Amino acid sequence: MQEKTTSFDIAQLAGVSQPTVSRALRGSKSVSESTRQRIEEIARRLNYKVDKNASNLRSQQSHTLALLIFEDPTPDKSLINPFFLSMLGSITRTCAVRKYDLLISFQQESADWHVDYQDSRKADGLILLGYGDFETYRWRLDRLVEQGAHFVRWGAVEAGHPGATIGCDNVRGGLDVTRHLLAQGRRRIAFLGAATSGFPEFRDRWLGYRQALGEIGVDPSPGLRQDAWNTEESGHDAAEALIYGREAFDAVVCASDLIALGALRALQEAGRSVPDDVAVTGFDDILAAGFANPPLTTVAQDSAAAGELLVSTLLRAIQKLPVDNAMLPAKLVVRRSCGARVC
């Protein structure tokens, strides 16, 4: 008796993986048209019939969510932005309360994370975390939308961005921290951060900084802004460019705590006293901010509420309920790096 043809037989003849065969026969857009046609032709030739019972079983919810974290360059080997570590705990606890399992993996530029989980049914939906260049991976988000995938991301809340987004009020955070420096008598305030469309959260913090200066009639000098990415080394290099530039400055607003920690080191190496000569502020309130020398004034994002909201929003999407973007408030945390007493 001839053995029944399987999807593995088709995969071997087509020179592709078995999951690719399954996706092609389901009509998934993640498989190219030429590959799909080749697989369908082999399936017809072998008189292959899709097992509808198995297909229906695969289409049921797995009761699992996938958390994909964008790889960040870090001084250690974790490759995880320390801001996301506290959010990770909240996401894990919320999943446990809602009786969902959680898969955790990295978003790698070279990987097909836009299909690996949702389309292969490993998870019912995706949570995306990361501070990478938004412009380089937006196409993947558009692809998820085309496939009807369920996903939610942490990032800048803007109209027209794909999928549901949970984020912080970055403009208000930048506004509040700059107003605080102005209230301390600082007037030559620099900004360190890549304020571009590829880094919309940093750009919004810069917009808040500009708004605060505009309120007192100050037009920020282009020489007082330096691009910096979300690493201590980038913050160090950007601060050095300020120190050895032509513009005098008495305060630095940094787009993240990691940038600020690098700036603190550069200022100390150059013999600039913080906060007597230069006040320094960050954004995120990572654990290291409170242990810096001096402790770092920063803007806190509510990572606990963020984790809960990311999970609950994704579950609403999975249940085909309406979902909306959400923006959480930012909170100024004053420490000694800006010359004020801790409040």
> Which helix or strand (DSSP H or E) is residue 164 part of?
strand 164-168
* pLDDT, position 60: 58
Query: CA-to-CA distance for 94 and 342, rounded, in angstroms?
Result: 32
Name the average pLDDT for the chain: 84
Q: Between 156 and 193, whose confidence is greater?
A: 193
Cβ proximity of 144 and 118 under 8 Å: yes
Q: Which residues pair with 100 in a beta bridge?
A: none
Bridge-based pairing state of the strands 330-333 and 298-301: antiparallel
Least confident of 26-30, 88-92, 94-98, 296-300: 26-30
Is it true that domain 7-59 has CATH number 1.10.260.40? yes
Domain positions in the chain are 7-59, 64-167+303-328, 170-301+332-338
Tens of pLDDT, residue by residue over 110-122, are 455 555 555 556 7
Burial (CB < 10 A; 0-12, 13-18, 19+), residue 92, is middle
Q: Which residue in this structure is represented by tokens 């085909």? A: 320
* pLDDT, position 225: 93
**DSSP code per residue over 170-239:** HHHHHHHHHHHHHHTT--SEEEES--STTSHHHHHHHHHHHHHHHHTT----GGGEE---SSHHHHHHHH
Tens of pLDDT, residue by residue over 293-329, are 999 999 999 989 999 999 999 999 888 888 889 999 9
Q: CATH number for the 64-167+303-328 domain, one of 3.40.50.9100, 3.40.50.2300, 3.40.50.1820, 3.30.930.10?
A: 3.40.50.2300
Burial 70-85 (b: 16+ CB within 10 A, else e): bebeeeeeeebbbbbe
Cβ proximity of 228 and 235 under 8 Å: yes
Q: How far is CA 42 from CA 28, 46, 270, 327, in A?
A: 17, 6, 69, 50
Cβ proximity of 328 and 302 under 8 Å: yes
Report the percentage of the chain scoring pLDDT > 70.
Answer: 85
* pLDDT, position 214: 94
Q: Which fold has domain 170-301+332-338?
A: Rossmann fold (3.40.50)
DSSP alpha helix (H) spans, 15-154: 18-25, 33-45, 52-59, 83-97, 113-116, 134-147
Q: How confident is the model at residue 231 (pLDDT cuts 50, 70, 90)?
A: confident
> What does the pLDDT average to over 252-271?
95
Report the percentage of the chain scoring pLDDT > 90.
Answer: 43
Bridge-based pairing state of the strands 279-281 and 101-107: unpaired
Cβ proximity of 298 and 257 under 8 Å: yes
Query: CA-to-CA distance for 238 and 232, rounded, in angstroms?
Result: 10
> What does the pLDDT average to over 145-166?
80
Q: Between 196 and 76, whose confidence is greater?
A: 196
Q: How confident is the model at residue 32 (pLDDT cuts 50, 70, 90)?
A: confident
* pLDDT, position 205: 95
- Give the best-scoring range by mean pLDDT among 30-44, 48-62, 119-133: 30-44
Q: How confident is the model at residue 131 (pLDDT cuts 50, 70, 90)?
A: low
* pLDDT, position 64: 87
* pLDDT, position 117: 56
* pLDDT, position 118: 52
> What does the pLDDT average to over 23-45?
84
Q: Do domains 64-167+303-328 and 170-301+332-338 have the same CATH topology?
A: yes
Tokens (6 digits) for 220: 């920020």
